[in-house]
Structure 1
């Protein structure tokens, strides 16, 4: 038997009892129908990065759970610049919430929103820690709760931190849980917020305590700085409208970066999906044209009585061609997915570097 290079399908036909001359004839028959330039199908997705706003400070890992607590003492009715401290607190808290990834659960508590800021109301106020929104990804509930916060009583900061801690869970990753405190003053109910913050940071929650203060004199600012330091976090003292706007801008910067990265990742996934769809349609069209053209010609020539190889052999070789195209398509899609994943990983790194 003469030696002829055979494809796997042709080898199967031969092993199944087919004649070599018929198999060669079938291969010759389909050759004119499979000359389509398939390279036109194998495009590449147009992937994008994202321009991140420059970082002003390093940041920790992406949060997995956030407990927010707001000072509702009577002094929050005071003003910083043109706005009340409570107005600024609401805005800062809302900005922070809006900057969180949608799936990250958060809680909201207030301390000092009972009784009043007189001696007669102190006992009730110092016990007044209210959980307005339990840990949840429901942002609507939190927005509604923020709007209802009032400036009323004293400042049980330690109790407020304890309420925040109670909304967290055990964690082995330092800093993935965050306590965010908004306050305009030091503890006035006899608690020890430094000790509580230290326990939050070094205990089972491993959380970070960040504090934003409003118009605090040097001594009180130092006291809250000590709380934040014990909690492994940062303290910002906003003393005027510009200071608040800068802090708000920082929160917005982080939020904008998250949005930019998210949109770019989504765009990359859409572009890769569109390329895959085009590839499937293009290769499918090639298979249809080749198969229909070859079999239509075969049937026409058979009606004219021409000598032809067995039809099943022609079909088998056409299916082999289809399988080769599908394999090339799948391999190309796998490569494109890897390129997309690499681009999205680069976006994650960009966003992280910009924190």
Structure 2
């Protein structure tokens, strides 16, 4: 083999070896695992305003831990935060904790926001009228008539005796009562005589002639015929007896008295009327003084005022009829209106008291408890991180400040929401009460 041929063979061998080496190097390179670049983790910044805190809702792991306690809670927190890096800054740790463990306050705050401050009692309230135009009624109208049957009522006025005139006026008055009204007739001083020897008997005489029930013309007329004017004037005892008559009777209670003189049985009719009016019966005492002297007018006026009613003095049969027909009917109308408005206002006050309590309960037992429960959970997470030395003591203190600041903002926000709703409820209650009072005033005028 010549030298030239040897050189060519050597060159070919070198190229083959070179290619083989390159192929081997490439294969080795391809077989080596590629180094992964560390993944950059981003944590959402926690909201700083309370509205956004509430809107954020529950953290990623809140549902897993919200019902856990003690060692179970600590164990779960440790598992869920195992990937939290060490030597975190307080803000980074805070953002991670909120993203993972923030409580869901939305439902609690929404319940507070949606609290109903309206009053169903006023929805159909239209100037004390129902759709058919009749007066609004809250219970039956109970009318108690007290008639003086003392001896002086046998005296004459306008050509007839006062008792006859009074009976005719009361018959007309009772016959004109609303169909749903109840009426009662009680007389006093109708036994014995006005002599001293009969004073005890007469002063103890106060009797129901027509029991409290619907008006029946025949029965009422018959009751008027059962007595004559004979004795003394036990006005106080009769008012006290009327209070007992009305005990337990629901509805509008009003008392009308026809008398021609003052108390003559040593009673205190002013105190009796005051006691009746201020009792749970809340009845008004209206009085007509029939042909009464000045002293009698002063006492009877004081009795009516103590009983929350009105006094009118008349001196003739015509005036008596006019007074019974106009002013007594007006007083009865106003009594019903006053009763209705009082009952409606009482209903509103009771409802508002319940609403204020219910609102307070939502605030304290739902909203505040939600915020406090979250604070407790975040503190547990913080202590868990501290025990595992995920933060330095300095950063841990800063983290504690951030958690406390969040809690304070949520507490203040809850208080503002409650106070706003509370003020709105109070304003609505006052508006409705004034509405009822204005309607009552207009109804009385009409």
TM-score normalised by the chain length of structure 1 = 0.52
- Tell me the equivalent position of 1:129: 206
Q: Is the 8 A contact 1:89 1:182 kept in 2?
A: yes
**1:108 counterpart = 2:185:** yes
- Tell me the equivalent position of 2:419: none
What are the ranges of 5 or more consecutive residues in structure 1 without an aligned counterpart?
A: 1-46, 51-59, 258-347
Instruction: Look up the SS of the partner of 1:152 in the other structure.
Output: coil
Q: Structure 2 matches for 1:31-42, cutoff 5 A?
A: none
Quickly say closer, same or farther: Cα 1:172–1:127, change in 2 above 3 A.
closer
Instruction: Look up the SS of the partner of 1:233 in the other structure.
Output: strand
**1:96 counterpart = 2:173:** yes
Q: CA deviation at 1:245?
A: 3.8
Q: Structure 2 matches for 1:225-236, cutoff 5 A?
A: 225-236=301-312
- Tell me the equivalent position of 1:145: 223
- Tell me the equivalent position of 2:61: none
- Tell me the equivalent position of 1:246: 322
Instruction: Look up the SS of the partner of 2:288 in the other structure.
Output: strand
**1:118 counterpart = 2:195:** yes
Q: Structure 2 matches for 1:263-282, cutoff 5 A?
A: none
Q: CA deviation at 1:253?
A: 7.0
- Tell me the equivalent position of 2:19: none
Q: Structure 2 matches for 1:1-355, cutoff 5 A?
A: 64-139=141-216, 140-170=218-248, 176-250=252-326, 352-353=443-444
Q: CA deviation at 1:187?
A: 0.5
Counterparts of 2:211 and 2:440, CA distance in 1: 32
Q: CA deviation at 1:156?
A: 0.3
Quickly say closer, same or farther: Cα 1:349–1:187, change in 2 above 3 A.
closer
- Tell me the equivalent position of 2:79: none
TM-score normalised by the chain length of structure 2 = 0.42
Structure ranking higher on relative contact order (CA contacts 8 Å, 6+ apart): 1
1:335-354 Cα shifts (integer Å, max 9, x gaps)? xxxxxxxxxxxxx9999456
Counterparts of 2:304 and 2:279, CA distance in 1: 15
Q: Is the 8 A contact 1:133 1:142 kept in 2?
A: yes
Instruction: Look up the SS of the partner of 1:155 in the other structure.
Output: coil
Quickly say closer, same or farther: Cα 1:119–1:92, change in 2 above 3 A.
same
- Tell me the equivalent position of 2:344: none
Q: Is the 8 A contact 1:215 1:239 kept in 2?
A: yes
Q: CA deviation at 1:61?
A: 8.9
Flag the structure with larger Rg: 2
Quickly say closer, same or farther: Cα 1:204–1:74, change in 2 above 3 A.
same
Counterparts of 1:225 and 1:200, CA distance in 2: 16
Quickly say closer, same or farther: Cα 1:229–1:171, change in 2 above 3 A.
farther
Counterparts of 1:132 and 1:49, CA distance in 2: 35
Counterparts of 1:92 and 1:219, CA distance in 2: 24
Q: CA deviation at 1:117?
A: 0.7
Counterparts of 1:214 and 1:72, CA distance in 2: 12
Q: CA deviation at 1:196?
A: 0.8
Q: CA deviation at 1:159?
A: 0.9
Counterparts of 1:88 and 1:68, CA distance in 2: 15
Q: Is the 8 A contact 1:134 1:167 kept in 2?
A: no
Q: CA deviation at 1:192?
A: 0.7
Counterparts of 1:230 and 1:152, CA distance in 2: 28
Q: Is the 8 A contact 1:169 1:205 kept in 2?
A: yes
Instruction: Look up the SS of the partner of 1:234 in the other structure.
Output: strand
Counterparts of 2:231 and 2:315, CA distance in 1: 22
